[in-house]
Amino acid sequence: MNNPDPYRIAYERERQARLLAEQLLNDKTRSLYDNCIQLESTVKELRTTQQQLIQSEKMASIGQLAAGVAHEINNPIGYSISNLSMLSEYFDSFLMLDELMIAHLPSLASQDIAQAYQQLREQEDIDYIKGDIKSMLAETDKGLNRVKEIVSNLNKVSHSGTFEKEPCDINALIDESLKVVWNELKYCLTVSKHFKPLPKVYCHPGEINQVLLNLFINAAHATKDKGVLDISTGIVKKEGKGYLTIEISDHGVGIPQDIINKIFDPFFTTKPIGVGTGLGLSVSFGIIEKHEGKLEVTSQENEGTTFTIYLPY
């Protein structure tokens, strides 16, 4: 009986071990590949969810402003319509005058026509009408253009925007956001602006507008009595990089130190139920971070809060 060849046995064992290792490696590689595909899909879903969350929070902010914006639009529309109604009556007076002149020209002497014409002018107060028409038309034009401006600014802020960044004037973006939220601010805050000339920065303007809206509304809610909202812009060097800065300071109730580290957490809010979603600052923080910037806060209770936005340029 032949004895088994120890070399062949060793070789066979090594071959089996190598096949097993290759099988395990293939299984691990396949599993890793599947995990990578799943992770990539999850990242895409998260990005989509993030965009939806940002837009949802934006529309929640717009919803809070809807009543105020409707009021702002209603006023200029109201006096514009009223003015147009009055202008229609004025025009009727001119028509009556014209009809009188035409009807009596063939039959009346010049003096009679002049007296009738003068009497009707006094009756219809033509001198006052002539002076008032120009101012009414100017007021109507101003009112309708105000409506156009309000709607335009609201569209800019509520629009979801594109994925491409574009060069933007930060000072102009601040002014746009203030116009949209003005009805929320004007009863509780006086705005003090300290703008410095800034280079244009590449950003998503709709998203930056959303951040500004959130911070302005928070400042209004933090102010119990008539206060001042200070808005400053400038340029600084931070950690060896150049940043445009936006400082937004109120003189409101401030943020307690035991919760200041939580204010950027999703769904954290100190506002009453139904007033805030708890997403405004979290979404704002994410937007600025996506722009490779920073959003920082300092606050003292009963003295006020300052949010500082850093945008690289």
Which tokens is 274 given? 């139904």
Q: pLDDT-derived band of residue 200, with 50, 70 and 90 as boundaries?
A: very high
Q: 123-171, pLDDT tens digit by residue?
A: 888 888 877 887 888 788 777 777 777 666 666 555 555 557 899 999 9
Q: 168-194, pLDDT tens digit by residue?
A: 999 999 998 898 888 788 888 999 999
Between CA 103 and CA 116 the distance in angstroms is 12
Question: Considering Cα of 27, then 31, then 34, then 36, what sign does the dihedral take?
Answer: negative
Model pLDDT, residue 181: 84
**Tell me, what DSSP letter sits at residue 308?**
E
Q: 280-310, pLDDT tens digit by residue?
A: 788 888 889 989 999 999 999 989 999 999 9
Beta bridge partners of 311: 244
Q: pLDDT-derived band of residue 216, with 50, 70 and 90 as boundaries?
A: very high
Question: Considering Cα of 119, then 124, then 125, then 129, what sign does the dihedral take?
Answer: negative
Amino acid letter at 56? S
Q: What is the distance, to the nearest Å, from the Cα of residue 247 to the centroid of all Cα atoms in its chain?
A: 17
Q: 43-81, pLDDT tens digit by residue?
A: 777 766 666 666 555 655 555 565 566 666 767 777 787
pTM of the model: 0.56
23 versus 178: the higher-pLDDT residue is 178
